[in-house]
Amino acid sequence: MRMPVILALVLALLAALALSAAACSAPTTIYFYNWGEYIAENTIADFEKANPGIKVSMKTFDSNEALYQTLESTSFDVIVPSDYMVARLIKEGKLYKPDMAAIPNNAKYNDPRLKAVAFDPDPAVSSQMFDYAVPYLFCTVGLIYSTADVPAPASDEPADVWAPLFDPKYKDRIGMYDSMRESIGVALNVLGLSLNTVDPAELAKAKDMLIAQKDDVRPIYGIDELKDKYVSGELAAGVAWAGDYVMCLDKLEEAGKDAGQLGFALPKGTNFFVDFLAIPKNAKHPAEAQVFIDYLCRPEVSLADSEYAGYSTPNLEAQKSLPEEIRSNPALYPDDAAIASLEVYYSSDEIDEKYSAIWESVMAH
């Protein structure tokens, strides 16, 4: 009788040891909330291989406003807000201030010129953005068009570039982003107005333009699903982040079609934006989030993500490996003067409220 008791004790002890060993080595899962089609296919798996203690679970969103809404009710460890949304989240106290010493690749590789851009009218907020968030990819907003259907714009005046979007000739064949700042921004840009105006008369004009466009042109509102429609020729033209245009070129190439089927034009005074990696204040695993962010700032990783998504990398080392036609495309890598001639979106209570109200009326129309 004595042996089995000892045996049972030994077995129990072994089982307890095995359990605690498993607990020690169980990986931590971090929750990553990213834009759709915005990270190379192998990046997460490669990160997990290099960091066996961390797993990454990714979900996607397709507008800053959708990201903002979801943050209210869900805890993520890493998010990818655009500049104006970073500013809003900082002002609302919703971001965790990372230990930048744990993200050395940011300071080592990311283009310091981005820090000179005024992402908020308040320089104190603008400069704080780089204490809270790390540039991921950046881009501009322009016109994508089918070269067979739409003539190349006569100039880079916004009214010339965006003209097809409001032309009933292209009824049912125009793409608009289901994203309020981009769509309202196109109308403001055509009207020669600031992308951040809060003047009621100016905003009313932009709203009327988008409503008339819905009646006359019946645009298709979407985000990532628009790309295949440009590639197939179903859509004649649309508003597009330059990165989406580059992804469309890749899709044309994969389909064995001619890249010359699609053109892209950048109007004067259009939007320039940076998407940042940030950690929400209610993140459960900020330390692991920092490890992941640092990994995303490695030159070879940033290069792969930029090449997959089509958007521009802020990583100076990665930029050296880009094909010349990409690196020298001013819609993808604008120089200082070009950046200064473009406009960033701002966030303020007044802007956020007024633009949301317009957007709701346009969508409801």
CA proximity to 311, closest of 102, 37, 110, 55:
37
**Residues in 64-93 at the binding interface with ligand N2P, rule: CB under 6 A:** 82
User: Token pair of 308, please?
Assistant: 């997959």
Q: Distances from the Cα of 346 to the Cαs of 81, 143, 174, 196, 202, in angstroms?
A: 13, 22, 27, 6, 17
Query: What kind and span of H or E run contains 262?
Result: strand 262-265
Residue sitting closest to ligand N2P (CB) = 35
How far apart are CB 138 and ligand N2P at their closest, in Å?
A: 9
Opening angle at CA 93, ends 47 and 111, nearest 5: 50
Euclidean distance between the first and the last CA atom of the chain, given in angstroms as a whole number:
83
**Residues in 264-303 at the binding interface with ligand N2P, rule: CB under 6 A:** 275
How far apart are CB 177 and ligand N2P at their closest, in Å?
A: 9
338, 330 Cβ separation under 8 angstroms: yes
CA dihedral of residues 343, 345, 346, 352 (deg, nearest 10): 150
How far apart are CB 165 and ligand N2P at their closest, in Å?
A: 19
| One residue of 48, 111, 224, 317 binding ligand N2P per CB under 6 A | 224
How far apart are CB 287 and ligand N2P at their closest, in Å?
A: 27
| One residue of 38, 145, 295, 359 binding ligand N2P per CB under 6 A | 38
Determine the interface stretch with ligand N2P among 35-43, 161-169, 192-200, 252-260 (rule: CB under 6 A): 35-43
| One residue of 47, 119, 130, 241 binding ligand N2P per CB under 6 A | 241
Determine the interface stretch with ligand N2P among 34-42, 51-59, 157-165, 252-260 (rule: CB under 6 A): 34-42
How far apart are CB 164 and ligand N2P at their closest, in Å?
A: 22
Query: What number of CA atoms fall less than 13 Å from residue 361's CA on the CB side?
Result: 15
> Which residue's structure tokens are 């930048």?
100
Determine the interface stretch with ligand N2P among 5-13, 29-37, 110-118, 340-348 (rule: CB under 6 A): 29-37
Residue among 166 and 264 whose Cβ is closer to ligand N2P: 264
How far apart are CB 86 and ligand N2P at their closest, in Å?
A: 12
In terms of DSSP H, where are the helices of 133-278? 158-161, 180-190, 200-217, 226-232, 242-254
How far apart are CB 32 and ligand N2P at their closest, in Å?
A: 14
DSSP state of 239: E
> Which residue's structure tokens are 């192998």?
42
Determine the interface stretch with ligand N2P among 33-41, 88-96, 205-213, 253-261 (rule: CB under 6 A): 33-41
Residue among 34 and 286 whose Cβ is closer to ligand N2P: 34
Beta bridge partners of 142: 240
Tell me what percent of the chain is helix, strand and coil, each rounded to the nearest 5. Answer: 50, 15, 30
- DSSP secondary structure letters along 81-108: -BHHHHHHHHHTT-B----GGG-HHHHH
Judged by CB under 6 A, does residue 35 bind ligand N2P?
A: yes
How far apart are CB 252 and ligand N2P at their closest, in Å?
A: 17
| One residue of 7, 13, 14, 36 binding ligand N2P per CB under 6 A | 36
| Binding residues for ligand N2P (CB under 6 A) | 35-38, 82, 224, 241, 275
